[in-house]
Amino acid sequence: MFKVVTPGFSQEFERWTDALNTANSLIPQCKSWTQDIRIFLFDELVWVYSRSHKYPQYIGAGIYDRLARLFIQEALEEENTNSKDP
């Protein structure tokens, strides 16, 4: 579903949270002005980090809201799963 791509690294994830955490962990390795980190939702670019911007960019209309809702949903599901385990 989600794919994190940077030069020398590419990995697919089912959850937005996992993709975002992986992309954020790669930020310190992004040292060149031409190097960037991208997250794709299927084939659509939804998130990009580069040194030319202070903060990561969400690409497309309504993407930030959609991904924020997905982040909250995944957090609630994870909390419910953890609370069911003894």
For the entire predicted model, the pTM comes to 0.85
Q: Where are the domains of the chain?
A: 2-84
Cβ atoms of 52 and 41 within 8 Å: the answer is no
Picking from 6, 41, 1, 42, the residue whose alpha carbon sits closest to that of residue 23 is: 6
pLDDT band at 82; cut points 50, 70, 90: confident
Cα 69 to Cα 12, 16, 66, distances in angstroms:
20, 10, 5
Tell me the pLDDT tens digit for each residue of 23-77: 999 999 888 888 999 999 999 999 999 988 888 999 998 999 999 999 999 999 9
DSSP sequence for 8-26? TEEEEESSHHHHHHHHHHH
What pLDDT was estimated at residue 32? 87
